[in-house]
Amino acid sequence: MTILEPLHVASHGKLLITGEYAVLHGARALAVPVKFKQHLYVQPHLESHIKWESILPDGSVWMEATYTRDLKHQTSGRKTSESRLIQNILSVIHRMQPHLFRRGYSLRSVLEFSPEWGMGTSSSLVANLAKWTQVNPFDLLDQTFGGSGYDVAVATGGKHLLFEYRDGRRRWCFTEWKPRFRKHIYFVHLNRKQNTAKVLKKYRNLRFRPEQIERITAISEEIVHCHSRKRFRELIDEHESLIGKVLQRKPVRETLFPDFEGSIKSLGAWGGDMIMAVGDGDTPAYFRDKGYPVIFSYKDLIAPA
């Protein structure tokens, strides 16, 4: 009897500290891994189907479906946008690695973070599937979700990095973002999730002037080495103002937290997911009192470089 070995891979979630939107237009962006991961457990079997389960941090089943081995049909489980998405991703892999699907598989994806937090459910999934199947993760990204790929670079390498996407080419260098005042940095979820694919489609045709791209790159590079809380606040305030002018939108501090004694920066898509707050007082208490209970300190959230 053939012994089919199980496999386990895992990839970090991420946060984009600088360069949201602008990274699609050539700006250098600072991105870091979070401590939370997504796991993929692979069990090959000799049956003629592929079973998928997505598990949330509390152990509940988010989505389950069974597909034919050629990925052409879903044979069980409720057909949802999530089940169709998994079917599409696996179909792309099937075209890349057709020999892989000569047998069936039971695939179990387990999240350590809520998919509502915007920490990279899709990118860590792409990274995990690429690790398992040994396909190029960026080829898989380009044929599924699209985007600059900073998140897949973080998920794949698990390192802090400065990332650049220009003329269809991706470049990055590993770095370390560990400011001396990190005990004053908090990350707060805004109680709503942005749809990454829709945001990318909506804002892909934004117009950045060359000098704006250059300035965001300069801010990203300075932030990595910035150990003055005052200067850091100046940089993220400038970044918010610059992106706000391009989007023709007010920064989140002006719209939601005008009485906050500190600086706030949107992370990722504006209007949802996470924000970064650098305060002068009791920052967690401020946001809890405003009705935002999901709050992380730098120490509790950011993975080491």
Superfamily of structural domain 182-301: GHMP kinase, C-terminal domain (3.30.70.890)
Distances (CA, A) of 182 to 69, 87, 258, 262, 296: 49, 41, 23, 14, 12
Nearest residue to 7 (alpha-carbon basis) of 51, 40, 48: 40
Enter the pTM of the model.
0.94
Distances (CA, A) of 137 to 6, 93, 130: 21, 10, 5
Nearest residue to 278 (alpha-carbon basis) of 160, 177, 187, 178: 187
According to DSSP, residue 302 is labeled B
As a whole number of angstroms, the distance between CA 124 and CA 131 comes to 10
Q: Could you tell me the fold of the domain covering 7-174?
A: Ribosomal Protein S5; domain 2 (3.30.230)
Domain ranges of the chain: 7-174, 182-301
Query: In angstroms, how far apart are the furthest CA atoms of the chain?
Result: 68
**Chain-centre distance of CA 233, in angstroms?**
24
**E runs forming strands in the chain:** 7-16, 29-45, 49-55, 61-68, 74-76, 104-111, 161-166, 169-174, 185-189, 262-267, 274-279, 295-297
Per-position pLDDT tens, the chain of length 305: 344 679 999 999 999 999 999 999 999 999 999 999 999 999 999 899 999 999 999 999 999 999 999 999 999 999 999 999 999 999 999 999 999 999 999 999 999 999 999 999 999 999 999 999 999 999 999 999 999 999 999 999 999 999 999 999 999 999 999 999 999 999 999 987 665 555 556 666 788 999 999 999 999 999 999 999 999 999 999 999 999 999 999 999 999 999 999 999 999 878 668 999 999 879 999 999 999 999 999 999 999 98
As a whole number of angstroms, the distance between CA 305 and CA 32 comes to 8
Query: What's the pLDDT tens digit per position in 133-180?
Result: 999 999 999 999 999 999 999 999 999 999 999 999 999 999 999 999
Query: What's the pLDDT tens digit per position in 16-25?
Result: 999 999 999 9
